[in-house]
Structures are given as C-alpha cells and as structure tokens.
Structure 1
Amino acid sequence: MALAWINTEPNTLKTFVANRVTEIQSLTQPHKWLHVPTQDNPADLISRGQSTQDFLESSLWKNGPLWLSQDSDMWPQFPLIKTDVLEKGPIRTTIVSLTLIISNPKKQAEIFVECLIEKYSSLRTLKHVIAYCQHFIKNTDLKNKKQRSLSPLSNEELDAGIIRVGGRIEHANIPQGQKHPIVLPHTHHITTLIIREEHIKRKHAGVQATLYGVRESFWPIDSRNTTRRIIRRSVRCFRVKPRGIDCIMGSLPEKRLTYSCLFLHVGVDYCGPFYIKEKRHRNRGREKVYVSIFVCFTTKAVHLDLVYGLTTEAFLDSLSKFFSRQGKAITVHSDNGTNFVGANKELRDLYEFIQKTKHDPDVKKFLSNERMNWNFNPPSSPHFGGLWEAPVK
C-alpha cells in the first residue's frame, strides 16, 4: 500500500497522505523504493511476537537479510500491481462557461473599477493605481502629446461624484475634509481599506481612537460597528488581547451569611485626601483630612467619620467615636495600613496590660469577654476586602 501511495500523483490522494507523499517524492525518486518480504523483515520479529531465546539466536535482527550484502541485481524484485488506492480523494471536475456581453460603456467602466478595487488590500497601492488610470484616461483625450503629463490630480478631478456631509461650519478655519467629510458605505471594500489603514497608522488603536482618525476626512455609515468588525479581524490585535481567565470565586465568609447585630462585624478603610478650610481662624489655609469608612458585614450599612490624619492616634479617636455611636464591634477587618497595624498593636498592648494588672474581678471579666479580634488581609492581595473597598469608589 505504501509503494502504491509513493507511485501515485499526490493531487489525487487525501490531504493527510498527499502531504507526506509530496515530501517523499521531492526528496527521493519513487522507483528507488522496493518491497521487503515478510520473512526477511527484522521489524516483524517484534511486531508478530517471538520468544526470547529465538530472538537472541536470530541472525536476521543482528545482520539483516542475506541478500542485503549482495549486489542490487540479486535483491528480490516484486512488480508493482496497479490497484485502486483507498486514500484517494474525490476528483471534482467543474466546467464553467462565462460569457459577458456589456453594451453600455459606462456600465462596463463601473464593473472594471469594482474589480480593480477588490483586487488590492492596501489603500496606498490602490490610490497609486487609480491615479495612474486617471492620468492615462486624461492623457488619451489630449491629441497634443506635449500637453500630456503625470502631474498630481486636481481636487476637482478627485471630488467628481463624491457625496459629502453637509453642515453649518462652512466658514470654520479647518481643512475642507473635516468640514465636509466624505460619506462611505459601511459594506464597501474602500471603507474597509480606509479604516484598516487608519488602525495601523495609529499603532493598532482601539475602536474609539481609530474612529476619531477616520472621521477627520471620512464619515462611514454605521461607523462604530464597521470599525469594531474590522479591528476584531486584525490578527495582531487578537494576539495581544487574549481572552481573560475566568477565575472561580471563593465562598463567602461565615460572618457575611449569619444574622447578627448592626456593626457587630465590620470592615474599615480610608478614602481621601480631602481639603477643608476651618472658619475658626481667619486666613487659615486648607487642611488635609481623610474619611474612615466602616462597613457592616451583615447589612452592608456604612458609617463615615472625618479623620485629621493617617496616624494611629487619629484612627483610634475615630474608632472610639464609632464604638460610642454604633456599639462595640467584635471583629474588625482591614488591610495592612500602618495606622491599622499600629491601632491593633496598641489595643493588644492595652489588653495585655489589663490582664496583668490587679483589677476588680468583674471589670477584668468584662474586659476579657469584650476583647476585639482584628483580622488583616494577606500581604499583596488586592482581591481581598471588596466589601469595604466598594464604598471608597
């Protein structure tokens, strides 16, 4: 079967076999490929099974067949029998007969221009080709050869039969193309070339930036959808903008799903800075302040308080006012801000001091029961704390 493939034209085979036969025929000559009988093929010893003792005593595996050391005239010859190859692909024969008769020269010119436009994929090349065609048509109408030239086309020649956008900015001090852009159909090949060239000129910018550049001289119909469709087909933009990975979200904390009192479990964060001006002092400059945000885990209620700095003392004052108004929280969550870490350290030192000092047993028991737990986000984990980061927006 393999010899039949090698001696067959690749275009009549299926794609998988044809690719390999083409490579074999390009590197070697088909008539040099011969058939090795089964009894002389060492590979069959393994594929068909053999005992270990017979395999070790076999000289065929070590030295090969006996005729291999003789002249090529003594090698076994097997004539190739022509058979139908199963891997042959379907042969399709299509006969197309097309006769186009156009009696209207104007219609014939329009068809020629459409075919010329569809032929090129670069707007710059198409401009040069159309310019040379226009010069050729212009020069053929001139009988005097001295008057023929390849000078640039005039604006009147270029604007012949072009539809432009109207408006009331005729007297504006801007170029004519910006005052009255050329209207482009959204499905035409010229529109695709113009948008593609502007997209490449702007270093593969997005839809909005590309559209701004196009509208400086042209006004495509359904421009946004057309620009989005062309940019989506750009191979380079597709490669540098891969599809994001959809991460599986973790389960919500238990404190978010259980009923509890208001502000019993809270998260805290800062936002700012803001600038305020005090009225107690005349000609006083503006002062920088911040806002501390406390968010309830159960109800998502928000408590705001003004803080006059990022120090630990300022935050402890804000925390005391929060506890006085909303009640004491059992659990507080925050990021690893220095003021939060400092406040936690001071509260922990105060708790340890109270535990070591001799106080009334009832007071000591009350303070021990009311101890507050402070939980910090893991370092370098911006995806933590979304509940109290959202109000900062």
Structure 2
Amino acid sequence: MVTLGYITNEAKRFHIFVAIRVQLIRDFTSPEQWRHIATKDNRVDIVSRGKKLSSLWWKGPTFLSTAATLIPETNHVDLEPNNPEVKKGTVVVTEVEPDSHADILTRVEYFSSWHKAKRAIAVCLRFKQKLPKVCKDLKSLKEVIKISYIPVDVDEMRRTEQEIIKLTQQQEFAKELQTLHNTKLSSTTTGEKTH
C-alpha cells in the first residue's frame, strides 16, 4: 500500500532514492495500471512467511486468469504524514522591515574597518542615486551594470560618513526625534515660531 501511495501521489515530493524509482515507474506505466494485492492473494507473501508452496504460488491469484474487470480496484492511497521518504516541506517567510536604516547599520558591523564600511556604503549610495534614472530606462540599467568599478572619492566618503551618523542618530534617538517633530508640528499649528 505504501508503494502504491508513492506511485499514485501527485502532491508530495520524495527523497532521491524513492523519487528516482517512482519516476521510472511513471515513465513506463500509468498509476491507474497499479493495484494493491491483499496478503491472502499475494504469492510472494507465502515464501516470506515460511509457508509451504501452494497452488497460489504456482498459478497466482485467481483474478489474474479472469477478465481485467475482475481485478480488485484500489482507491487512491494517502501517505502517512510521518513517512520517512516524504520530504519535509519548508516554508520560508520573509518580512520587509519598513525601516531600512537599521538594516544598513547592521551591515556596517560586518566590516573589519571603518574605512572599508564607508567605502562599501559609498558605492551603494552611488548606485541608489543612479537608480531612479535606471528604473526609467532599461538601457541605462545595462550601462550601469557594464560600468567597471570606479573608486570612491573623498567627497563621497565624507557624505557617506555623514549618512551613517545620521542613520545612527535616527535609530538611537528615535523617540527624541519624534518628540521634536511633534513639538514642531504643534507649534506651527498654533502659530508660534520655533528657533
């Protein structure tokens, strides 16, 4: 019954050994051709159980010598959920964080030096600056990809350092910045000037 479940299966995926054999069977036959033979009619079970050979061994089950319509019909066989040959499905869920600043800052930690981190982020910021143009025109995307790496200059390194500091402040002082923002909004609605 387990083997029949493998052959008739349409949904589950198997480990390599079983998968290859099931595919071979399905390449040369159709699942509808396969049936389950009950133990009392299975001649192989006689030998495996140490019984004496009988007419079942020599002639096979009676339905084999009759019309094909008399062969027992086998319903679809469902596989056990814990079958060791069935691959366990893995679901991977990704969630995009609304705050990309934290992501940039965590990536800074992977660099072995402050200079290397600034240089890598400067290249990313350079690409980010060109991105709106690239999105409008696919040809320019190809041009950006083809362009060989140009070392970052001093101005880009300075702007990158300022950007990293700004992002760090936004992350570390988020509550304070929100309070300042709310204070500014409330003072503009009441007509007060802020300095």
TM-score for the superposition, normalised by structure 1:
0.24
Larger radius of gyration: 1
TM-score for the superposition, normalised by structure 2:
0.46
- Higher RCO (Cα < 8 Å, 6 or more apart): 2
Structure having the higher helix fraction is 2
